[in-house]
Structure formats: C-alpha cells, structure tokens
Amino acid sequence: MAPLVRRSARAILVDDQRRLVLMKRSRPDGATYWTAPGGGIEPTDGSPLDALHRELREELGAVVDRCEQVFLFTSADGDGLAVQHFFVCRLRSLDPDARRAPEFTQADRGTYEPERVAMSGSELQAIDLRPAALKEFILTRRDALLDTAAVRAT
C-alpha cells in the first residue's frame, strides 16, 4: 500500500443564492481550472474540519456553517497517495479583505480568484472543475447537497 503523503480539506461551498463558491486558478503556463476552496491539513489542525475552517478564512475570508463531510477522494501523488476530504457547507459571510493565504503573494504560482458558479448543469458543466470526480459528484447530488447545506429555494 502506498503511503499517505498529503491530506487536504475542501468545501463544496454554497451561497445564499444556491451557487457554488469556487476558486478559479489561473497558472502562469496558461492553464485555467476551478477547484473547491480549502487546502492542506496542518499538524496543528485538530481535525479535517478545523483545517477547512482555517483554510476558508485564509483563502476567502469566509465564515461557514452546516458543514458535513460528504465525499472522500483519493489520488496518486508522487510515490504516495493524496486524500481530499470534501465538506458541503453553507457560506455565512465573505470578506475579501481578510484573505491571507500565502499563495496570494507568490506571483509565480498564478492567481486564485473566488468565482460563483450555478449548480445547475450547464454552467457547472462548462468549467474544468478538478478533480473531475467532484464535478460528477455535485451534478448527480445537487438537491441533496443543497438540502444538507440547508440552502432552500426562495
């Protein structure tokens, strides 16, 4: 069995208009893709959920609630495995001025911009959301995810 080399916690983050809040990642090599906000679990984090709250504050200045782990994704990473814990969460507030993630100051890494994307099929289908298994998971479980985050239609 390959060793676990990286763990991360990410949010399927839903705003009050039932849209996903994603990170649009534009790299210097020209590649653009979207990913769920979140990041690495640090040794000082008490749990994946603690890591998620910390990462969302750093990346988005976000406060969330109603977080529930709904998806676990494992992939190869070098000589080992990477595990991503995905939580569906409801966005309570967002303060772009509170963004403090270290990657924002490293120009050679490209840009990380929050973007809201409708959870309906056509808009979500049109973007390169990574990992691809996450996109499929969201598209096939949209109503359950909205219910879990308690973001009801108005």
**Inside any domain, residue 153:** no
- Global confidence as pTM: 0.92
Domain count, the chain: 1
Going by C-alpha positions, the residue among 152, 34, 138, 16 that lies closest to residue 88 is 138
Q: Is residue 129 within 8 Å of 34, Cβ to Cβ? A: yes
pLDDT for 153 equals 59
The answer on pLDDT for 66 being more than 70 is yes
- Per residue in 89-111, pLDDT tens? 999 999 988 888 766 666 777 88
How far is 150 from 109, CA to CA, in rounded Å?
Answer: 35
Q: Return the amino acid letter for 46.
A: G
User: Please, which pLDDT band fits residue 56 given cuts at 50, 70 and 90?
Assistant: very high
User: Please, which pLDDT band fits residue 121 given cuts at 50, 70 and 90?
Assistant: confident
Q: List the CATH number of the domain containing 95.
A: 3.90.79.10
Q: Which domain covers residue 136, as residue numbers? A: 4-148
φ/ψ (deg, to 5) at 63: -115, 130
**Inside any domain, residue 154:** no
pLDDT for 104 equals 65
**Inside any domain, residue 73:** yes
Going by C-alpha positions, the residue among 72, 81, 84, 78 that lies closest to residue 4 is 81
**Inside any domain, residue 70:** yes
Contacts of 151 (CB under 8 A, 6+ apart): 14, 15, 16, 18, 90
**Inside any domain, residue 55:** yes
User: Please, which pLDDT band fits residue 59 given cuts at 50, 70 and 90?
Assistant: very high
Least confident of 43-57, 91-105, 116-130: 91-105
